[in-house]
Structure 1
Amino acid sequence: MYQLVLTTCPNETVAKNIAQQLVTEKLAACVNIIPNITSVYYWQGELQCDNEVQLLIKTDENTFAALNKRINQLHPYDVVEVIALNIQQGDKHYLNWISNSLK
Protein backbone atom coordinates (compact mmCIF):
# COMPACT_ATOMS: atom_id res chain seq x y z
CA MET A 1 0.00 0.00 0.00
CA TYR A 2 1.18 3.50 -0.79
CA GLN A 3 1.51 6.03 2.02
CA LEU A 4 1.56 9.75 2.60
CA VAL A 5 3.84 10.47 5.56
CA LEU A 6 3.62 13.74 7.47
CA THR A 7 6.34 15.39 9.49
CA THR A 8 7.17 18.94 10.54
CA CYS A 9 10.55 20.67 10.68
CA PRO A 10 11.76 23.77 12.53
CA ASN A 11 12.92 25.56 9.35
CA GLU A 12 13.40 25.23 5.60
CA THR A 13 17.07 24.27 5.87
CA VAL A 14 16.26 21.19 7.94
CA ALA A 15 13.23 20.42 5.75
CA LYS A 16 15.23 20.55 2.50
CA ASN A 17 18.00 18.41 3.95
CA ILE A 18 15.58 15.73 5.11
CA ALA A 19 13.65 15.84 1.81
CA GLN A 20 16.79 15.54 -0.30
CA GLN A 21 18.19 12.68 1.79
CA LEU A 22 14.93 10.71 1.67
CA VAL A 23 14.61 11.04 -2.11
CA THR A 24 18.32 10.40 -2.76
CA GLU A 25 18.22 7.27 -0.61
CA LYS A 26 15.03 6.11 -2.38
CA LEU A 27 13.03 6.12 0.83
CA ALA A 28 10.61 8.63 -0.71
CA ALA A 29 9.47 9.15 -4.28
CA CYS A 30 8.65 12.81 -3.67
CA VAL A 31 8.60 15.24 -0.77
CA ASN A 32 6.54 18.43 -0.83
CA ILE A 33 7.87 21.21 1.38
CA ILE A 34 5.19 23.57 2.70
CA PRO A 35 6.66 26.57 4.56
CA ASN A 36 5.03 28.83 7.11
CA ILE A 37 2.61 26.57 8.93
CA THR A 38 1.72 27.22 12.55
CA SER A 39 1.67 24.35 15.05
CA VAL A 40 -0.06 24.73 18.42
CA TYR A 41 0.70 22.05 21.03
CA TYR A 42 1.74 21.41 24.62
CA TRP A 43 5.40 20.61 25.26
CA GLN A 44 6.73 19.97 28.76
CA GLY A 45 3.57 21.44 30.28
CA GLU A 46 3.68 24.70 28.33
CA LEU A 47 1.52 25.80 25.42
CA GLN A 48 3.63 26.31 22.30
CA CYS A 49 2.78 28.15 19.08
CA ASP A 50 5.57 27.67 16.56
CA ASN A 51 6.21 28.47 12.93
CA GLU A 52 7.23 25.22 11.21
CA VAL A 53 7.66 23.64 7.78
CA GLN A 54 5.40 20.73 6.78
CA LEU A 55 6.73 17.81 4.75
CA LEU A 56 4.38 15.62 2.69
CA ILE A 57 6.30 12.45 1.85
CA LYS A 58 5.14 9.90 -0.73
CA THR A 59 6.34 6.34 -0.08
CA ASP A 60 4.97 2.84 0.50
CA GLU A 61 4.37 0.69 3.55
CA ASN A 62 7.35 -1.55 2.81
CA THR A 63 9.66 1.46 3.04
CA PHE A 64 8.05 3.10 6.08
CA ALA A 65 10.25 1.57 8.82
CA ALA A 66 13.48 2.63 7.11
CA LEU A 67 12.03 6.06 6.29
CA ASN A 68 10.91 6.60 9.89
CA LYS A 69 14.35 5.60 11.19
CA ARG A 70 16.10 7.95 8.75
CA ILE A 71 13.84 10.90 9.57
CA ASN A 72 14.59 10.41 13.26
CA GLN A 73 18.34 10.29 12.54
CA LEU A 74 18.25 13.54 10.56
CA HIS A 75 15.75 15.49 12.67
CA PRO A 76 16.72 17.88 15.49
CA TYR A 77 13.52 17.39 17.57
CA ASP A 78 13.48 15.11 20.64
CA VAL A 79 10.06 13.76 19.64
CA VAL A 80 9.57 13.72 15.87
CA GLU A 81 6.12 13.73 14.27
CA VAL A 82 6.07 10.87 11.77
CA ILE A 83 2.51 9.92 10.80
CA ALA A 84 1.71 7.59 7.89
CA LEU A 85 -1.64 7.74 6.12
CA ASN A 86 -2.54 4.93 3.75
CA ILE A 87 -3.43 6.08 0.24
CA GLN A 88 -6.67 4.31 -0.62
CA GLN A 89 -6.83 5.43 -4.24
CA GLY A 90 -4.80 7.43 -6.72
CA ASP A 91 -3.95 7.82 -10.37
CA LYS A 92 -2.41 4.50 -11.45
CA HIS A 93 0.36 6.22 -13.40
CA TYR A 94 1.36 8.30 -10.36
CA LEU A 95 1.25 5.30 -8.04
CA ASN A 96 3.37 3.27 -10.47
CA TRP A 97 5.83 6.17 -10.56
CA ILE A 98 6.07 6.02 -6.76
CA SER A 99 6.90 2.30 -6.95
CA ASN A 100 9.52 2.82 -9.63
CA SER A 101 11.09 5.74 -7.74
CA LEU A 102 11.62 3.62 -4.64
CA LYS A 103 13.65 0.94 -6.47
Structure 2
Amino acid sequence: METAAETTATAPAEPPTPAALTVLTTTDAEDKARDLASGAVRARLAACAQITGPVTSVYRWEGAIETAQEWQILLKTSAARYDALEAWLTEAHDYDTPEIIATPVVRGSAAYLEWVARETAG
Protein backbone atom coordinates (compact mmCIF):
# COMPACT_ATOMS: atom_id res chain seq x y z
CA MET A 1 0.00 0.00 0.00
CA GLU A 2 1.33 3.43 -0.97
CA THR A 3 1.54 6.27 1.48
CA ALA A 4 0.56 9.83 0.60
CA ALA A 5 4.24 10.80 0.41
CA GLU A 6 4.87 8.06 -2.18
CA THR A 7 1.96 9.08 -4.43
CA THR A 8 2.58 12.83 -4.36
CA ALA A 9 4.33 13.83 -7.56
CA THR A 10 7.00 16.43 -7.22
CA ALA A 11 8.07 18.71 -10.00
CA PRO A 12 11.69 18.42 -11.01
CA ALA A 13 13.87 20.99 -9.33
CA GLU A 14 14.82 23.96 -11.47
CA PRO A 15 18.54 23.92 -12.22
CA PRO A 16 20.37 26.72 -10.47
CA THR A 17 21.24 29.75 -12.56
CA PRO A 18 24.91 29.46 -13.46
CA ALA A 19 27.20 32.10 -12.04
CA ALA A 20 29.47 31.99 -15.08
CA LEU A 21 29.24 31.30 -18.79
CA THR A 22 31.63 30.56 -21.59
CA VAL A 23 30.63 32.37 -24.76
CA LEU A 24 31.88 31.27 -28.17
CA THR A 25 32.09 33.43 -31.27
CA THR A 26 34.08 33.22 -34.48
CA THR A 27 35.51 35.61 -37.04
CA ASP A 28 37.41 35.34 -40.29
CA ALA A 29 40.74 36.94 -39.35
CA GLU A 30 43.15 36.76 -36.43
CA ASP A 31 43.32 40.55 -36.02
CA LYS A 32 39.52 40.71 -35.82
CA ALA A 33 39.57 37.97 -33.18
CA ARG A 34 42.13 39.93 -31.16
CA ASP A 35 40.02 43.09 -31.44
CA LEU A 36 36.85 41.32 -30.29
CA ALA A 37 38.67 39.60 -27.41
CA SER A 38 40.46 42.68 -26.14
CA GLY A 39 37.41 44.91 -26.59
CA ALA A 40 35.20 42.60 -24.53
CA VAL A 41 37.80 42.37 -21.75
CA ARG A 42 38.46 46.13 -21.83
CA ALA A 43 34.71 46.78 -21.46
CA ARG A 44 34.55 44.29 -18.54
CA LEU A 45 32.05 42.18 -20.45
CA ALA A 46 34.43 39.22 -20.22
CA ALA A 47 37.06 38.39 -17.64
CA CYS A 48 39.28 36.82 -20.28
CA ALA A 49 39.20 35.51 -23.81
CA GLN A 50 41.09 32.76 -25.58
CA ILE A 51 41.66 32.74 -29.32
CA THR A 52 42.08 29.49 -31.24
CA GLY A 53 42.67 29.20 -34.91
CA PRO A 54 42.57 28.93 -37.64
CA VAL A 55 39.81 26.34 -37.62
CA THR A 56 37.87 25.13 -40.63
CA SER A 57 34.14 25.85 -40.55
CA VAL A 58 31.68 24.13 -42.88
CA TYR A 59 28.17 25.57 -42.93
CA ARG A 60 25.16 26.30 -45.11
CA TRP A 61 24.71 29.97 -45.97
CA GLU A 62 22.09 31.35 -48.35
CA GLY A 63 21.47 27.90 -49.81
CA ALA A 64 25.09 26.94 -50.47
CA ILE A 65 27.57 24.85 -48.51
CA GLU A 66 30.48 27.08 -47.53
CA THR A 67 33.92 26.28 -46.14
CA ALA A 68 35.98 28.99 -44.45
CA GLN A 69 38.91 29.49 -42.13
CA GLU A 70 37.88 31.16 -38.88
CA TRP A 71 39.29 32.01 -35.49
CA GLN A 72 37.31 31.03 -32.41
CA ILE A 73 37.09 33.31 -29.41
CA LEU A 74 36.05 31.76 -26.09
CA LEU A 75 35.03 34.44 -23.61
CA LYS A 76 34.51 33.85 -19.89
CA THR A 77 31.82 36.04 -18.35
CA SER A 78 29.32 36.20 -15.52
CA ALA A 79 25.73 35.25 -16.25
CA ALA A 80 24.71 38.75 -15.18
CA ARG A 81 26.84 40.29 -17.97
CA TYR A 82 25.73 37.97 -20.79
CA ASP A 83 23.07 40.26 -22.29
CA ALA A 84 25.52 43.17 -22.43
CA LEU A 85 28.24 40.94 -23.94
CA GLU A 86 25.86 39.58 -26.59
CA ALA A 87 24.73 43.10 -27.52
CA TRP A 88 28.35 44.30 -27.71
CA LEU A 89 29.44 41.34 -29.84
CA THR A 90 26.50 41.83 -32.20
CA GLU A 91 27.39 45.50 -32.63
CA ALA A 92 31.18 45.04 -32.88
CA HIS A 93 31.10 42.00 -35.18
CA ASP A 94 31.23 42.39 -38.95
CA TYR A 95 29.27 39.18 -39.71
CA ASP A 96 25.59 39.55 -40.63
CA THR A 97 24.73 36.70 -38.25
CA PRO A 98 27.63 36.16 -35.87
CA GLU A 99 27.88 32.91 -33.97
CA ILE A 100 27.26 33.72 -30.30
CA ILE A 101 26.75 30.63 -28.17
CA ALA A 102 26.70 30.65 -24.37
CA THR A 103 27.36 27.53 -22.33
CA PRO A 104 26.80 27.49 -18.57
CA VAL A 105 29.73 26.71 -16.34
CA VAL A 106 28.29 23.95 -14.20
CA ARG A 107 31.29 23.65 -11.90
CA GLY A 108 34.64 25.34 -11.52
CA SER A 109 37.18 26.39 -8.96
CA ALA A 110 35.66 28.84 -6.52
CA ALA A 111 38.64 31.18 -6.77
CA TYR A 112 38.44 31.32 -10.58
CA LEU A 113 34.67 31.86 -10.63
CA GLU A 114 35.03 34.64 -8.04
CA TRP A 115 37.68 36.24 -10.25
CA VAL A 116 35.33 36.10 -13.27
CA ALA A 117 32.59 37.75 -11.21
CA ARG A 118 34.97 40.48 -9.98
CA GLU A 119 36.40 41.22 -13.43
CA THR A 120 32.97 41.52 -15.03
CA ALA A 121 31.33 43.49 -12.23
CA GLY A 122 31.36 46.53 -14.50
For Structure 1 versus Structure 2, the TM-score category normalised by the shorter chain is: over 0.9
> Are 2:81 and 1:63 equivalent residues in the alignment?
yes
The separation in 2 between residues aligned to 1:31 and 1:20, in whole angstroms, is: 8
Partner of 1:29: 47
Deviation at 1:58, TM superposition (A): 0.1
Q: CA RMSD in A?
A: 0.7
Q: Which has the higher contact order (CA 8 A, sep 6+)?
A: 1
TM-score by length of 2: 0.82
* Residues 1-103 of structure 1 mapped to structure 2, 5 A cutoff: 1-103=19-121
Bigger strand share: 1
Give distance in 2, aligned partners of 1:10 and 1:59.
23
Write out the 4+ residue segments of structure 1 that deviate beyond 2 Å after TM superposition. Answer: none
How many pairs are equivalent? 103
Unpaired stretches in structure 2, ≥5 consecutive residues: 1-18
Q: 2 CA distance for matches of 1:17 and 1:74?
A: 9
Question: Any gaps of 5 or more consecutive residues in structure 1?
Answer: none
Quick check: which has more Rg, 1 or 2?
Answer: 2
Letter in 2 for 1:2: A
